């Protein structure tokens, strides 16, 4: 007999083995199969915080048959530009279908890329093709590795299963707020690459998609590092920072639309302060606390995004002369500070031009203004939360020391952010503090500029997932405007791969 039990509750510190005993009482038999389906924390009553579980159990062992895919009738040449989650998961699914992908990555393998990122943090010498934005694994590799998503699709469960198959912690399969951590992500990504190579796929690093050729509305060739190659299909999984690629696609007649996104700063607090605010005095017995806040108090909606408990604010530039910030944490989340993006919405009307790439130029102007405000060298402009709210200059740090590795310089948010963003954030912070006590702490540090929250454009595709008027080209993932994080980007990669396979099965 198989049972699904929900609403099982354990206090912090109680062993999960107690759940098996509960299942045996319900089954009236020994448990031979047990699986946690969901695990979340109920901290509404800080004096009685509980873990809440949904589990599946049976008195019989469960075995699942392996999936069976038809083999393709012929071998198409399928190129995938970009090795972020969209590109990697598309490649894995194509292999499942018997199609051998050719992956193109302008950056370097994740191991070498990590060295380039560390070198940039130390020296300030930027490698434009190997950095936090570009390289194997995509921008999400240097993040918290969050696997939250607001989309509801069967692909989500598949994505989690694939991550676990390649070495991600098994808890991501049942935690309500799963994360892999940047350290684990690098290992998982390398495992995926090894699998692709062993199963006949090609992986080409330092290989930029320069151009493509469409004849009579159908893709026929791509250009890689200046060399032309025949192509049947091309997946554009290029990421939200592939600005030169967007320019090339616009020049080739692709339909590109402006899209709203959000900009702002990274807000850093002491992790211990966030823990106390969320869980009370017992916070040390629980995982590092997180938060998610939204406010409509100002002219534009403001919200927190990509919250990194026990994490670090990192330099994330991909172009010379611009400062970009991002948040990162390892699986243990054991850093002194918590950080999250504190951002407000910007609209196409703010871009100042109807040009399809005006949002890209809008981002670039903010990044260059932040670079200038901090005096160059990829230092980041910072301001204390209290001084920002009071409209005053900052001159020294309090209990929160910034974690940004390239160094910082005091500068007001007004020196690099648009007035509508500044005013919206200033209205939002006290409102957010009413829901998370201490969020408006005077000593919290605001580090700018957070400009790459999502793609500022969308490459239009039809219901067949192909670019408008360009048969054989598939805009995919976050960079092309069809995802908003690791999970949804990976799911879009699976979706595109299945659509390609339908042509050849």
Is there a single domain that holds both residue 289 and residue 399? yes
Q: Write out the E strands in 274-378.
A: 294-295, 302-308, 312-315, 325-328, 337-346
Give the angle subtended at the CA of 409 by the CAs of 407 and 412, to the nearest 5°.
140
Is there a single domain that holds both residue 43 and residue 15? yes
Q: Which pair of tokens denotes residue 275?
A: 């823990």
Q: What was the pLDDT predicted at 16? A: 93
Q: What was the pLDDT predicted at 228? A: 97
pLDDT band (50, 70, 90) for residue 81: very high
Q: Are 254 and 458 in contact (CB under 8 A)?
A: no
Judge whether 26 lies within some domain.
yes
Is there a single domain that holds both residue 303 and residue 375? yes
- 218: CATH: 3.50.50.60
Rounded distance between C-alpha atoms, residue 306 and residue 303, angstroms: 10
Domains in the chain, number: 3
Is there a single domain that holds both residue 269 and residue 414? yes
Is there a single domain that holds both residue 441 and residue 464? no
Helix (H) or strand (E) holding 89, with range, is: helix 85-96
Is there a single domain that holds both residue 126 and residue 201? yes
The residue segments making up the domain with residue 54 are: 2-58
Helix (H) or strand (E) holding 87, with range, is: helix 85-96
Q: What was the pLDDT predicted at 143? A: 87
Rounded distance between C-alpha atoms, residue 172 and residue 161, angstroms: 9
Judge whether 246 lies within some domain.
yes
Is there a single domain that holds both residue 384 and residue 426? yes
Q: Are 448 and 385 in contact (CB under 8 A)?
A: no
Q: What was the pLDDT predicted at 198? A: 95
Q: Is 0.85 surpassed by the pTM of this model? A: yes
Question: 69 pLDDT exceeds 80?
Answer: no
Which residue, of 450, 472, 489, is where some domain finishes? 450
Q: What was the pLDDT predicted at 303? A: 97
Judge whether 415 lies within some domain.
yes
Alpha helices in 280-316 (DSSP H): none
Q: What was the pLDDT predicted at 13? A: 82
Q: Are 464 and 499 in contact (CB under 8 A)?
A: yes
Is there a single domain that holds both residue 12 and residue 94? no
How far the first Cα of the chain sits from its last, in Å, is 38
Q: What was the pLDDT predicted at 281? A: 86
Judge whether 65 lies within some domain.
no
In percent, the amount of the chain with pLDDT more than 90 equals: 91
Rounded distance between C-alpha atoms, residue 176 and residue 38, angstroms: 6
Q: What is the pLDDT of residues 102-158, one digit of tens each?
A: 999 999 999 999 999 999 999 999 999 999 999 999 998 998 888 988 888 889 999
Q: According to the 3-state scheme, what is the secondary structure of 335-348?
A: CCEEEEEEEEEECH
Give the angle subtended at the CA of 359 by the CAs of 353 and 361, to the nearest 5°.
85
Give mean pLDDT, residues 352-370: 98
Q: What was the pLDDT predicted at 207? A: 97
Q: What was the pLDDT predicted at 424? A: 98
Task: For residue 266, report the phi and psi dihedrals to the nearest 5 degrees.
Answer: -100, 125
Give which of 484, 388, 461, 463 is closest to 427, Cα–Cα.
Answer: 388
Phi-psi region of 4 (alpha: psi -120 to 50; beta: other; left: phi over 0): beta
Q: Distances in Å between the alpha carbon of 269 and those of 74, 181, 308, 413?
A: 56, 19, 11, 18
Judge whether 67 lies within some domain.
no
Is there a single domain that holds both residue 430 and residue 388? yes
DSSP assignment string, 127-147: -TTSSSSSSTT-GGGGS--B-
Q: What is the pLDDT of residues 215-262, one digit of tens each?
A: 999 999 999 999 999 999 999 999 999 999 999 999 999 999 999 999
Is there a single domain that holds both residue 446 and residue 464? no
Judge whether 383 lies within some domain.
yes
Rounded distance between C-alpha atoms, residue 131 and residue 446, angstroms: 23
Is there a single domain that holds both residue 418 and residue 380? yes
Q: What is the pLDDT of residues 6-64, one digit of tens each?
A: 999 999 889 999 999 999 999 999 999 999 999 999 999 998 999 999 999 999 988 77
**244 three-state secondary structure:** helix
């Amino acid at each position: 007999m198989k049972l699904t039990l929900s609403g099982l509750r354990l206090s912090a510190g109680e062993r999960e083995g107690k759940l098996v005993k509960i299942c045996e009482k319900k089954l009236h038999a020994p448990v031979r199969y047990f699986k946690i389906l969901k695990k979340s924390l109920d901290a509404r009553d800080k004096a009685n915080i509980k873990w809440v579980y949904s589990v599946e159990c049976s008195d019989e062992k469960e075995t699942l048959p392996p999936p069976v895919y038809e083999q393709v009738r012929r071998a198409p040449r399928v190129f995938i530009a970009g090795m972020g989650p969209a590109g990697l998961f598309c490649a894995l699914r194509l292999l499942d279908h018997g199609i051998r992908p050719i992956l193109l990555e302008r950056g370097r393998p994740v191991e070498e890329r990590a060295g380039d990122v560390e070198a940039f943090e130390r020296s300030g010498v930027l490698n434009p093709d190997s950095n936090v934005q570009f390289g194997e694994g995509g921008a999400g590799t240097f993040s918290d590795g969050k696997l939250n998503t607001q989309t509801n699709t069967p692909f989500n469960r598949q994505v989690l299963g694939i991550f676990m198959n390649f070495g991600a912690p098994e808890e991501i399969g049942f935690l309500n707020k799963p994360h892999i951590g940047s350290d684990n992500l690098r290992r998982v990504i390398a495992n995926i690459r090894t699998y692709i190579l062993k199963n006949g796929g090609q992986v080409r690093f330092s290989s930029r998609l320069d151009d493509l050729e469409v004849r009579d509305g159908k893709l026929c060739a791509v250009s890689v590092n200046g060399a032309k190659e025949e192509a049947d299909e091309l997946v554009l999984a290029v990421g939200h920072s592939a600005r030169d690629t967007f320019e090339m696609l616009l020049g080739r007649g692709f339909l590109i639309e402006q899209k709203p996104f959000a900009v702002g700063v990274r807000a850093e607090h002491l992790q211990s302060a966030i823990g106390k605010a969320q869980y009370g005095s017992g916070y040390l017995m629980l995982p590092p606390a997180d938060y998610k806040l939204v406010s409509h108090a100002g002219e534009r909606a403001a919200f927190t995004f990509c919250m990194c408990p026990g994490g670090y604010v990192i330099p994330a530039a991909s172009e010379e002369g611009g400062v970009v910030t991002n948040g990162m944490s390892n699986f243990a989340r054991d850093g002194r500070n918590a950080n999250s993006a504190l951002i407000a919405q910007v609209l196409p009307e703010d871009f100042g031009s109807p040009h399809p790439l005006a949002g890209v130029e809008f981002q670039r102007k903010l990044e260059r203004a932040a670079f200038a405000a901090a005096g160059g060298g990829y230092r980041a402009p910072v301001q204390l939360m209290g001084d920002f709210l009071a409209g005053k200059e900052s001159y020294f740090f309090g209990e929160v020391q910034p974690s940004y590795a390239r160094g910082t310089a005091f500068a007001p948010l007004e020196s690099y952010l648009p007035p509508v963003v500044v005013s919206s954030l200033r209205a939002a912070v006290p409102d957010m503090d009413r829901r998370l006590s201490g969020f408006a702490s005077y000593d919290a540090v605001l580090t700018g500029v957070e400009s790459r929250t999502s793609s500022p454009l969308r490459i239009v595709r039809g219901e067949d997932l192909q670019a408008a008027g360009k048969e054989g080209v598939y805009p995919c993932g976050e960079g092309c405007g069809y995802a908003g994080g690791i999970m949804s980007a990976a799911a879009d990669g699976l979706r595109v791969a299945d659509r390609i396979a339908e042509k050849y099965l």
